[in-house]
């Protein structure tokens, strides 16, 4: 998938020795754009979106050109090569198992060891006459600059967080402003991260819908579709609403929703929407107090759970905080689910005139 | 954006610090600041426990219990008994390189 962008650059450092290096274009092809979109949507696609580790050339680099380290997640690589447009530079791709720099650095695959290994493997020493490697700042989570220096003699420069700042950074003599060091998390960032929350939630919703329809469908005369739909419909609508609340509205409007814990943010939005829907539709079955209690207990909670999942996509939540949230939230989720199920069973037995 | 108050495990030992400024260079949330020529922690609540500062501080002046701040990763860690780990694409936001 990358071959269309590659040709071979022949290096001739010493007349007796030729080296060949793959050269990539800094333009994106249609396929590259398509891939960048697919990565946001499909987990399985993203997991396989890799390129070969090793050294690549952009433009006409020589022994004085800068080297940028990158991950072998193709999107990370693509973003970097696009940002290097018009420059002559090297890209050293580490084997991060197809994962982006930050996540891989957290796991240690984008790390000191791998950087040293790739630098040795491509014989960076023999290609360059300088001793600098520019590593994306977020790579610092896994790369210990001092150790790389001790093992290879190369000095690690932590470049800007965002590839778009690379040129400014280079022009300033490899200096970052404090703005270039900061990771941002704009509303746009959050919006494009939501499909990854919504899609798995929809899959869970199908299971939920099946169980709900089956449950309400069960009648003395067998399973009746009409009663399944009549009684189940509000639950299905409310279920979809909690996905909207927890996986879309809460993430997108994150900073504007009161409370710091994600579980509370999600619960609040879930509660507001659930109430809104209940009053709006004024379903027949809600005249039943049991059903009303279940709805108010369960759906805001589902939204809360989904919002908590979004902590995995943010750039500012920390492990200690999420652990603290989970310690309280998980028992609450468990208890309210159990209560909801018990109430449902009571409701059903009552309907069937068994109690 | 700030997360829950007073939970971050970041510890800074000023007596070991040589003011080499590496931590300021690597922290993506501006947690460290240079004030009167000395490095200090400006706001611990901004820390996301990524661990970049502690890994790159040569002088052992920073401690942080680093890990992923990701609910499903932590739940997975609880279930398997291992360290929290995520296999999400992470914050691969717009143009993170
Ligand atoms: S990296 Fe360590 S020694 Fe250097 S300024 Fe930061 S805390 Fe001090
Ligand atoms: S752990 Fe990460 S976010 Fe926290 S202070 Fe260190 S570099 Fe900054």
pLDDT in tens, A295-315: 999 999 999 999 999 998 888
Q: Which residues of chain B from 2 to 61 reach within 8 Å of chain A, CB to CB?
A: 2-5, 7-9, 22, 24-30, 46-52, 55-56, 58
How far is the CA of A2 from the CAs of A19, A24, A31, A72, A330, in angstroms?
Answer: 21, 9, 9, 12, 44
* Residue B86 or A293, more confident: A293
The answer on A219 and A92 residing in a single domain is: no
Based on the structure, what is the number of domains in chain B?
2
The answer on A82 and A36 residing in a single domain is: yes
pLDDT-derived band of residue A10, with 50, 70 and 90 as boundaries?
low
| A102 contacts on B by Cβ (under 8 Å) | 90-92, 96
Kindly give the number of the ligand 2 atom that is closest to the alpha carbon of A140: 7
- Count contacts between A and B (CB, < 8 Å): 204
Interface predicted TM-score of the whole assembly (ipTM), two decimals: 0.84
The answer on B61 and B15 residing in a single domain is: yes
Mutate one of B54, B92, B94, B95 to test the A interface: name it (highest A CB count within 10 A): B92
The answer on A347 and A214 residing in a single domain is: yes
Q: Are the Cβ atoms of A324 and B4 closer than 8 angstroms?
A: yes
The answer on B42 and B73 residing in a single domain is: no
Mutate one of A47, A162, A175, A319 to test the B interface: name it (highest B CB count within 10 A): A319
Domain boundary among A184, A203, A233: A184
Residue B25 has pLDDT above 80, yes or no: yes
The residues, ordered by sequence, that sit 6+ positions from B14 with a Cβ below 8 Å of its Cβ are B38, B39, B40, B61
The answer on A247 and A163 residing in a single domain is: no
Q: pLDDT by residue (tens digit) across A123-154?
A: 898 889 999 999 999 999 999 999 999 999 99
Range of the domain at B32: 11-66
Ligand that comes closest to the CA of residue B21 = 1
Based on the structure, what is the number of domains in chain A?
2
How near does any CA of chain A get to the CA of B65, in Å? 8
Domain boundary among A154, A184, A214: A184
The answer on B60 and B42 residing in a single domain is: yes
Q: Write down the pLDDT at residue B67.
A: 82
Q: Write down the pLDDT at residue B92.
A: 42
Nearest CB neighbour to A319, from listed B30, B55, B74: B74
The answer on B77 and B95 residing in a single domain is: yes
Residue B76 has pLDDT above 90, yes or no: no
Which CATH number does the domain housing residue B32 bear? 3.30.70.20
Residue A215 has pLDDT above 80, yes or no: yes
Residue B5 maps to a domain: no
Q: What is the distance in A from the centroid of ligand 1 to the CA of A140?
A: 14
Range of the domain at A51: 2-184
- Going by their DSSP bridges, the two strands A67-70 and A89-93 should be labelled as parallel
Tokens, residue A207: 């299971």
Residue B50 maps to a domain: yes
Residue B27 maps to a domain: yes
The answer on B72 and B39 residing in a single domain is: no
- Going by their DSSP bridges, the two strands A89-93 and A54-58 should be labelled as antiparallel
Residue ranges in chain B assigned as alpha helix (H): 22-26, 52-56, 71-80
The answer on B55 and B22 residing in a single domain is: yes
The answer on A219 and A180 residing in a single domain is: no
- Under 8 Å between Cβ of A97 and A71: no
Q: Give the span between the Cα atoms of A233 and A253, in whole angstroms.
A: 28
Ligand that comes closest to the CA of residue B59 = 1
Residue A239 has pLDDT above 90, yes or no: yes
Averaged pLDDT of chain A: 89
State if pTM tops 0.90: no
The answer on B87 and B59 residing in a single domain is: no
């Amino acid at each position: 998938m990358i071959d269309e962008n590659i040709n071979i650059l022949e290096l001739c450092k010493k007349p007796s020795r030729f080296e060949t290096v793959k050269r990539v274009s800094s333009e994106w092809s249609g396929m590259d754009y398509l891939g960048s979109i697919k990565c946001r949507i499909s987990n399985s696609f993203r997991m396989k979106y890799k390129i070969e580790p090793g050294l690549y050339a952009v433009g006409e680099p020589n022994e004085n050109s800068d080297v940028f380290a990158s991950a072998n997640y193709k999107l990370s690589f693509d973003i970097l090569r696009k940002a290097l447009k018009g420059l002559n530079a090297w890209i050293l791709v580490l084997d991060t198992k197809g994962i982006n720099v930050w996540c891989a650095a957290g796991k240690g695959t984008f790390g000191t060891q791998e950087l040293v290994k790739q630098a040795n493997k491509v014989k960076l020493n023999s290609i360059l006459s300088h001793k600098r490697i520019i590593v994306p700042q977020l790579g610092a989570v896994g790369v210990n600059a001092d150790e790389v220096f001790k093992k290879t003699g190369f000095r690690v420069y932590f470049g800007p967080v965002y590839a778009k700042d690379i040129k400014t950074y280079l022009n300033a003599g490899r200096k970052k402003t404090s703005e270039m060091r900061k990771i941002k998390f704009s509303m746009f960032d959050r919006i494009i991260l939501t499909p990854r929350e919504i899609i798995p939630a929809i899959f869970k919703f199908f299971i939920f819908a099946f169980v709900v329809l089956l449950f309400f469908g069960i009648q003395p005369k067998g399973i009746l579709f009409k009663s399944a739909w009549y009684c189940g419909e509000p639950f299905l609508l409310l279920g979809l609403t909690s996905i909207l609340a927890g996986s879309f509205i809460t993430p997108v409007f994150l900073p504007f929703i009161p409370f710091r814990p994600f579980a509370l943010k999600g619960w609040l939005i879930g509660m507001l929407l659930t109430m809104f829907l209940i009053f709006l539709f004024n379903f027949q079955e809600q005249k039943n107090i049991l059903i009303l209690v279940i709805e108010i207990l369960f759906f805001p909670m589902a939204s809360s759970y989904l919002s908590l999942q979004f902590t995995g996509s943010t750039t500012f939540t920390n492990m200690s905080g999420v652990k603290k949230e989970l310690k309280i939230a998980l028992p609450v989720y468990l208890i309210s689910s159990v209560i909801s199920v018990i109430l449902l069973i009571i409701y059903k037995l009552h309907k069937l005139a068994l109690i | 954006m700030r997360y829950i108050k007073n939970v971050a495990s970041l510890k800074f030992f000023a007596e070991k610090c040589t003011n080499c400024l590496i931590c300021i260079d690597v922290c993506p949330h501006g947690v460290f600041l240079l004030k009167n020529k000395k490095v200090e922690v400006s706001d611990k609540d901004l820390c996301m426990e990524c661990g970049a500062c502690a890994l790159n501080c040569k002088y052992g002046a920073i401690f942080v219990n680093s890990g992923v701040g990701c609910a499903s990763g932590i739940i997975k860690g609880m279930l398997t008994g291992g360290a929290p780990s995520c296999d999400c694409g992470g914050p691969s936001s717009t143009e993170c390189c």
